[in-house]
Amino acid sequence: MSDVAQVVTYIPRLRRYARALLGERAAADDLVQDTLERALNKFHLWKRGTDLRAWLFTVMHNVHVNQVRSRREHVGLDGDALELQTRATHDAGLETRDLERMLQRLPVEQREVLLLVVLEDLSYEEAATALGIPIGTVMSRLSRARVRLRALMEGLPATGRLQVIK
Amino acid sequence: MTEFSISEAEFQACVDQRLPDDRRGEVERYLATHPEDSQRLAAYRTQSEQLRAAFAPVLDERIPEGLVQALRPRGARLLRVAAAFALVALGGIIGWQLHGSIERQERVQTIARGAALAHAAYSPEVRHAVEVGADQEAHLVAWLSKRLGGKVRAPSLEAVGYTLMGGRLLPGDDGEPGSVSPTAQFMYQNRQGTRVTLYVRTNMRDQDQTAFRYAREGKVGVFYWIDRSFGYALSSADIDRNELLKIANAAYTQLNP
């Protein structure tokens, strides 16, 4: 199997991560598409023998950061109508939908860490590399993401218990 | 009695079952004497399970054709180049009547030309006629709307016997004066397998508004019209002008209720 063909096998996982990250199908597939295009253009930058999957998440992270940046410059591109339309196709259970909604209320940098670690099972080191942050930051964001998501799901104010447990 | 202490990072690693062996015992002993934290551990593990369960179905979804095609840039580029050449060739052969080369007329005619070209390029495709299938219509419409920067709709042509197959995003016709917008193509098919395509682009101008016009490009007949900022063109190579007009009318009525 050629290297590029290998990329194809990761599309489902890229789509899953993008969906969880953005909460909306059309936007998620746009992100995956842009990621694939960029990955292909930058394929020479991938070091053979290293984990291709982790590298693809790195590419996706960079594409996403750029998208967010350019979206800020064109505020209002994503109408509510779009979201509603895609939502209608999604018939998940109520609890799942709650979870998806609350997930979107986490700050994006916490959401990224949580999803890379929990959903995509990246090691803390891989997550740190993919996001271009120190591993300590991965750990503290992971901790905060969990506190916050739990509080949101329980309808409680986040208490932000952090750092050291005595 | 020794008071054990673990760091938050270790606690997180414990949630993810990634603690090194030599720390596991101590952390477990700690949790045994700290019910609040062991409760928190259980809650986080449940949370992780729920997250995985919520998004697992995505793995089984059919991958949109467009995503696989994103990995075939050579083919796509070739097609784009071919399309550009064809455009130039068609322009020469058919001799578009650009009376006085009025800009507005050019803009309007670009639509008919682009639509005919896109119809000829994609309607014979058997396997990749559309990028996103009609089974994902809501997604298709949302995606195209986003890419076109305006709310796009796929009219239902069932009443005139045509079923939506799906659609695709066409590369913007860069290089053409005054037209750089991406364009969408919806494809429909009747029971006999005859295909018609509806070509939609945005960023038209108010003064471009037209009623139905008809153009013919080789074998492809095109009815096109401009409505507010949208330009539409309905093309087919296999049906006569009256039949095409009937379908164009059905589309027009729905797009302009």
Tokens describing residue A8:
């194809």
Mutate which of A15, A103, A118 to test chain B, going by most B C-beta atoms within 10 A? Answer: A118
Report the CATH number of the A92-159 domain.
1.10.10.10
Query: A14: which residues sit within 8 A by CB, 6+ positions away?
Result: A32, A35, A36, A56, A57, A60
Of B51, B61, B68, which has the smallest distance from its Cβ to A119's Cβ?
A: B51
Q: Quote the Cα angle for A132-A137-A142, to 5°.
A: 110
- Would you state the pLDDT for residue B107? 62
Of B11, B58, B71, the CB nearest to A165: B11
User: B65-255: what CATH class?
Assistant: alpha beta
Asked if residue A139 lies in contact with residue B8, where contact means CB atoms within 8 angstroms, the answer is yes
Query: Using CB atoms, which residue from B57, B58, B142 is nearest to A85?
Result: B142
> What digits encode the pLDDT tens for the residues B39-83?
999 999 999 999 999 998 888 887 787 777 766 644 444 445 455
Residues of B in contact with A139 (CB under 8 A): 8-9, 12
Task: Out of 1.10.3720.10, 1.10.579.10, 1.10.1740.10, 1.10.540.10, select the CATH number for domain A1-90.
Answer: 1.10.1740.10
Nearest Cα of chain B lies from the Cα of A57 at a distance, in angstroms, of 16
pLDDT tens by residue, A47-103: 777 788 889 999 999 999 988 877 665 443 343 333 333 343 344 566 777 888 899
Q: Which of B6, B44, B71 sits opposite A4 (nearest CB)?
A: B71
Start-end of H helices in chain A: 3-9, 11-22, 25-41, 52-73, 80-88, 94-104, 108-114, 124-131, 135-154
Tokens 């659609």 locate to B167
Alpha-carbon distance of B14 to B27, in angstroms, equals: 8
Tell me which chain A residue has its CA closest to the CA of residue B59: A12
For residue A165, give the DSSP letter.
B
Helical residues (DSSP H) of chain B, grouped into ranges: 8-15, 21-32, 35-60, 65-69, 73-90, 103-122, 137-148, 241-255
Chain A residue whose CA is closest to B10: A139
Nearest-Cα distance to chain A for B93, in Å, is 35
In 3D space, the residue among B139, B211, B223 whose CA is nearest the CA of residue A26 turns out to be B139
Question: How would DSSP label each residue in B96-150?
Answer: ---GGG-HHHHHHHHHHHHHHHHHHHHTT-SSSS-SEEGGGHHHHHHHHHHHHTS
Q: Which of B21, B47, B43 is nearest to A118 (CA)?
A: B47
Helix (H, G, I), strand (E, B) or coil at B29: helix
Per domain, the residue ranges of chain A are: 1-90, 92-159
Radius of gyration over every alpha carbon of chain A, rounded to an integer in angstroms: 17
Q: Do B50 and A146 touch (CB under 8 A)?
A: no
pLDDT tens track for B93-135: 333 333 333 455 566 677 888 788 778 777 877 777 788 888 8
B168 min Cα distance to partner chain A (Å): 13
Q: Return the higher-pLDDT residue of B1 and B197.
A: B197
Model pLDDT, residue A72: 60
A26: nearest CB among B8, B50, B143: B143
The domain segmentation of chain B, as residue ranges, is 8-60, 65-255
Q: Which residues of A touch B36 (CB under 8 A)?
A: none
Residues in chain B: 257
Is the Cβ pair A118, B37 closer than 8 Å?
Answer: no
